[in-house]
Amino acid sequence: MTQPDRPYQPPVQPPAGGQPAPYGPSGFPPGNLPPGSPPGSYPQAGFPPGYPVPAWARQPDPMPTAPVEYQHMLRGPRHRWWRPLVTVLLCAALAVAVQVITGLVVGGVLVATGTPVSDVVRRISTTSPMAPLTFAVVIISLVSLIPSAMLANWIVNGVRPGYLSSVAGRFRWRWFARCLVITVPIFVIFVVLQVAFGQEIGPRPQHWVILLIMVIIGIPFQSAGEEYAFRGLVLQNVGSWFGRPKVALVAAMIPSVIVFALAHGSFDPWVFADLAIFALASCFVAWRTGGLESSVALHASNNVTLMIATLLFGGWDQAFVSSNTVGSPIAPLATLIVNGICIAVILWQARRVRLQRTYQRRQPQTAPAGYPARG
């Protein structure tokens, strides 16, 4: 049977050792760059001449082509003005879905065990006093912000989830541990001074042992969830609208601070100022360190130490901000001093370890003549 004519493909010369090139007629594994190819030629490089390139392979790399700060991580070739809006809406939709599903599952289990529906609704929705069941639902809802923010950023912007954690493309655990060593003792001293000079000693809440375990295990992840949503997602998406790095930072800080403060539900000016100062400190340290590790450490140290103190010495019912919460000028001042000390030490340590604070695009590897390019 006669074979149809095919376009001539020149054979690939084997390398010096006599071994043939293992990746077919192109000499390169699919999706890898041949030597000397520009960064934007990634998708087509892995296909032999005349091979039909699929639509997904014609998409440009979403990562920026030049070194950028954390708030400019989304200003790559795929950036469009509408993507930040869709990203934030998708993150909110995913988080609300998780919250609804969690409430339905918990309520379904209680109803199945014989608890009346009215009692189930009351137990899940009552936040004062904060019982273990309600506390668990709140923690799960806020922890879900971590995958919601990562997935929304990945789906809409095409950026790997790790780049929401830091400019290095991952959560830098060693740096996070170093930040905890800095922040935990400072907040412990702050809480001890509060108990010694200001806080009234009261009875422990019912089920305080269960609540204490939940605080130690769940609150660090709850704090991380708020940082990924209110700091990471907002800083990167809002910052992508502005070309100048400093303008992008200031413009992204404004909604991050305002939305974070308002999300707690209190319109008291001193409570709002207290939360705004904390949010501003978290934004600043995330920008200066190029990632969320230090802001997560700051947030987790604050929440865990304060909640443990209220469980052991009284004040658990007042530990959560609500529409009825009122403050005083002392709280914003104390927050400013404590967070300022933490940030100063964190930045000092960041300079000592030469922490990466800008994104650096990886250059394609160049292979010797006759050898396939490495992935």
CA dist 271 and 279 (Å) reads 12
What are the CA-CA distances from residue 360 to residues 120, 133, 191 (Å)? 52, 45, 40
Report the candidate in 38, 109, 63 with the shortest Cα–Cα distance to residue 366.
Answer: 38
Residue 339 region by backbone torsions, left for phi larger than 0, else alpha for psi between -120 and 50, else beta: alpha
The pLDDT, as a whole number, for residue 7 is 53
Cis ω before 30 (30° cut-off from 0): no
Task: Report residue 121 as tokens.
Answer: 């609704």
Distance between the two ends of the chain, CA-based, in angstroms?
40
Non-local CB neighbours of 97 within 8 Å, separated by 6+ positions: none
State the angle between helix axes of 145-157 and 83-112 in degrees (0 to 180), rounded to the nearest 10.
140
pLDDT at 88 over 60: yes
pLDDT at 374: 45
> Average per-residue pLDDT in the chain?
84
Please count the CA atoms within 13 angstroms of the CA of 194 that sit on its side-chain side. Answer: 21
Q: Which tens digit of pLDDT belongs to each residue from 142-167?
A: 999 999 999 999 999 999 999 999 99
Distances (CA, A) of 263 to 99, 101, 316, 333: 15, 21, 20, 21
Going by C-beta distance under 8 Å and a sequence separation of 6 or more, which residues neighbour residue 361? 39, 63, 64, 65, 66, 67
Predicted local distance difference test score (pLDDT) of residue 119: 81
% of the chain at pLDDT higher than 90: 59
Beta bridge partners of 68: 359
Residue-wise pLDDT for 343-372, tens only, equals 999 999 999 999 999 998 876 544 444 444
What per-residue confidence (pLDDT) applies to 309? 92
Distance from C-alpha of 260 to C-alpha of 270, rounded to nearest angstrom: 15
> Is residue 221 within 8 Å of 146, Cβ to Cβ?
yes
Q: Long-range contacts of range 273-277, CB-CB < 8 Å, 24 or more positions apart?
A: 273/327, 273/332, 274/327, 274/331, 274/332, 274/335, 275/321, 277/332, 277/335, 277/336, 277/339
Give me the mean pLDDT over the 207-226 stretch: 95
Whether the pLDDT of residue 35 is over 90: the answer is no
pLDDT at 285 over 50: yes
The pTM for the full model equals 0.82
Coil/strand/helix, residue 314 = coil
* Residue 60: half-sphere exposure toward Cβ, Cα within 13 Å: 12
Q: Are 183 and 126 in contact (CB under 8 A)?
A: no
Closest to 346 in 3D by CA, of 134, 181, 111, 187: 181
Of 278 and 317, the one with more pLDDT? 278
**Phi–psi pair at 287, nearest 5 degrees:** -65, -45
pLDDT at 46: 53
- The mean pLDDT value for 327-339 works out to 93
Q: What is the DSSP letter of 129?
A: S
Query: Would you place residue 189 in the very low, low, confident or very high pLDDT band (cuts 50, 70, 90)?
Result: very high
Q: Measured between alpha carbons, how far is 351 from 367 in angstroms, rounded to an integer?
A: 35
The distance of Cα 189 from the centroid of its chain, to the nearest Å, equals: 28
Report the amino acid identity of residue 218: G
Is-contact 302 278, C-beta < 8 A? yes
